[in-house]
């Protein structure tokens, strides 16, 4: 049985659960978007979307939904620069993808109030399937350490039975430059 191409399956339940934190009409970047399951999810909710992937087939699939960028971000430059700095988005979405060298760029791509929704495989997954190489598995607490400068709204690290896998996932908000006028920000759970 051939699995579906990445990005054609249903949107991640984690992304669906936390997508309400993206401001109405806010811009969304989906990194390693595959065939666009999350691009489609946000476009259907009125968000301007940008999908990025190295696969020409994936980019062809997401092009009708918004901006589609074919780029090999592991071996080439970050394609979304404005005045030498990463373009900013109201949400950056990453699922089932890990390239550690990219974390500073992803965080710099968050606009004030921007939301990072990240979900990928973690240590332990090598016992149940692929990916199994340590380069492609987060270490315990790694996303928490990476997001230390953001407001963490939700975090999980553990085993999921259907399909069987170990994942780590986080939702974090860039509160830099936001004024709360003395009251804490409210991130509806």
At 78-113, the pLDDT tens digits run 999 988 899 999 999 999 999 999 999 999 999 999
At 45-84, the pLDDT tens digits run 999 999 999 999 999 999 999 999 999 999 999 999 988 8
Residue 140: DSSP 8-state: T
CB 48 within 8 A of CB 29: no
pLDDT of 29 over the 70 cut: yes
% the chain with pLDDT above 90 = 85
- How far is it, in rounded angstroms, from Cα 57 to Cα 114? 29
Reported pTM: 0.93
pLDDT of 1 over the 60 cut: no
177 or 122, which is more confident?
122
What residues have CB less than 8 Å from 110, skipping those under 6 apart? Answer: 88, 89, 92, 116, 150, 174
Residue-level pLDDT at 181: 67
Q: Domain map of the chain by residue range?
A: 13-173
Which architecture does CATH list for 13-173? Answer: 3-Layer(aba) Sandwich (3.40)
Distance of CA 19 to the CA centre of its chain: 11
**Residue 151's beta-bridge partner residues?**
173
């Amino acid at each position: 049985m051939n699995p579906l191409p990445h990005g054609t399956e249903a949107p991640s339940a984690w992304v669906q659960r936390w997508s309400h934190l993206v401001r109405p009409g806010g811009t969304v970047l989906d990194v390693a978007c595959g065939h666009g399951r999350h691009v489609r999810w946000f476009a259907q909710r009125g968000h301007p979307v940008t999908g990025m992937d190295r696969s020409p087939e994936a980019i062809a699939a997401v092009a009708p939904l918004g901006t589609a960028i074919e780029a090999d971000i592991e071996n080439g430059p970050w394609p979304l620069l404005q005045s030498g700095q990463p373009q900013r988005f109201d949400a950056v979405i990453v699922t089932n993808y890990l390239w550690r060298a990219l974390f500073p760029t992803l965080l710099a791509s968050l606009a004030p109030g921007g939301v990072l929704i990240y979900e990928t495989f973690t240590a332990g997954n090598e016992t149940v399937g692929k990916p199994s190489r340590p380069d492609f598995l987060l270490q315990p607490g790694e996303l928490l350490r990476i997001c230390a400068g953001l407001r963490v709204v939700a975090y999980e690290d553990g085993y999921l039975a259907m399909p069987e896998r170990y994942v780590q996932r986080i939702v974090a908000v860039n509160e830099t430059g936001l004024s709360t006028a003395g009251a804490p920000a409210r991130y509806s759970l």
